Chain A
Amino acid sequence: MREETRLGVAFASVLLSSHAAGDAPFGVLVDADGAAETYGVCIACHSEKIIAQQGLSRAAWDELLDWMVEEHGMANIQGPVRDRILDYLAQHYGEDRPNYSPD
């Protein structure tokens, strides 16, 4: 990569990240499709750090959302929003743990 291009990319990413609310728009959550819904629904009671630690299958995330509703009083989200949240969680916080390291 030529020097100016590299600087240009660096500059653009600074602009992008400072443009968003705070430094990271979704806290420690990976910024990808479905992050906005997940962040919006899930950080009312606790921070997203408890979510980012997990490595669960889609079915296990589904079960966990039920537990949030039944035990902890989360709104019962169904339909396309639930699907987007589950797809996001299963992809970025799945059993292969692409975004987790113990320290």
Chain B
Amino acid sequence: MIPRYPRSNRRAFLQGASLATLSALVGAAIPFHRHLPRGFVPVVIADDLTIAGKAGLSVLNDRPLNAETPPALLDDAITPTHRHFIRNNGNPPADTSADAWRLAVDGLVKTPFDLSIDDLKQRFEVVRLALVIECGGNGRAFFDPPARGNQWTYGAVGCSLWTGVRLKDVLAAAGVDDNVVYTAHYGADTHLSGDPARLPISRGVPIAKALTDGVLIAFEMNDGPLHPMNGAPLRLVVPGWPGSCSQKWLTRIQLRDIVHDGPKMTGKSYRVPNRPVAPGEKVDEQNFEIIERMPVKSLITSPATGVETNESVVAVRGHAWSGDRAIASVDVSFDFGARWQRAQLDPPFNAGAWQNWRTTVRLPQAGYYEIWARATDTAGDAQPHAIDWNPKGYLNNTMHRVAVRLT
């Protein structure tokens, strides 16, 4: 793990951690937790903050838990569960056992219902898809002036295998009323204030998006259980849209005849100005619009930035993705963008997955290089050099640059 804060501080924040967080850190329920003195840190985590079932993630915030994956640890073609980032808005539910879990589908439907996870598996076709989830604020750390929120750098993205049923099949079974415009998603996590009347987050998507093939109600991740911090036992996966659309610990989907107005739908949350703005510019709330698809982007997962080598031939590889679109090409430069070479690009595992790419660069002489990658999607959009600044720090899809020193 990359330490972001001095070790001495870990104890302080663990002392304030909730039982659910402590359990996640230890990797098991803590049966005798009531005997733990307040502020007591279980010995297995006292010395180093690790998240059980997650390896190498950088912890941005421990309460609520928010952690991202350094790019070099995202090298796998499919993101293993232990490498998938965590973005929590509230306190995760204490009980995430699948047996008693219920999902309600209601609002403007012909037949509202309430189903167990077994019911979902029995009534609907079960599919397994590789799907990209990226936090809307991935890359926020590089905004200048800074934008508020968790300061994600590169690694709030992953493409795991998700098994579940299609949201559109479930909605078809419920019968979507003609006047429905938006979905509203609810989860079992609780607000940080402890006030049961508040929800940590409840977002939704336009009904047209909800009825596309790739949107899943998922109960498995990489052929195993969902990680508790990734929404076990049930979550939505809305590929290519801000991760916040993919409600974790999913308990209810409601259909509405207005654009959903739950927490983090309104104001400036997950919204950007409806026109280009100057860095630092003040923008009136009414001139913000809801983010839908995420823009074209790529990551270099090898080599790791900062690497020193005496081998002038360097294998370069990574992933590229673009919300609701495929990637047409990936180009790589090692001379600050003067010349570009085309990488070999794989087709996606399925629509909604990222695409893996690779190439080899030959560094001409000893010295400092930056390897840059630039993806172009099927609509012709390519990654920019500079950030399209917006007040809340969303949608940073600038090129990823890694430093390599040839000795």
Contact = CB atoms under 8 A, between A and B. Distances in A.
B61 interface: yes
B341 interface: no
B62 A64 contact: no
B8 A24 contact: yes
A24 B12 contact: yes
Contacts of B9: 23-24, 27-28
Dominant SS at the B interface?
loop
Contact of A71 (B11, B13, B59, B263): B263
Contact of A46 (B4, B15, B61): B61
7 contacts: A23-B8, A27-B12, A27-B13, A46-B64, A46-B192, A49-B5, A102-B153
Contacts of B8: 17, 23-24
A72 interface: yes
Interface in B174-208: 191-195, 198
Given A47-B62, A49-B63, 10 more contacts: A22-B15, A24-B8, A46-B61, A47-B13, A53-B150, A54-B146, A57-B145, A72-B191, A72-B198, A103-B153
B397 interface: no
4 closest A-B pairs by CB: A55-B146, A23-B8, A45-B192, A47-B63
Chain A interface category by residue count? 20 to 34
B148 interface: yes
Interface in A14-30: 17, 22-24, 27-28
A36 interface: no
Contacts, number: 82
Interface residues of B, number: 33
Interface of A: 17, 22-24, 27-28, 43-50, 52-57, 60, 64, 71-74, 95, 97, 100, 102-103
Dominant SS at the A interface?
loop
A60 B148 contact: yes
A22 B63 contact: no
A45 B320 CA distance: 37
Interface string B11-47: 1110110000000000000000000000000000000
A102 B193 CA distance: 28
B153 A64 contact: no
Nearest to A44: B193
Contacts of B267: 71
Interface string B308-342: 00000000000000000000000000000000000
Contacts of A17: 8
Contacts of A54: 146, 148, 151
Contacts of B263: 71
Interface in B114-152: 141, 145-146, 148, 150-151
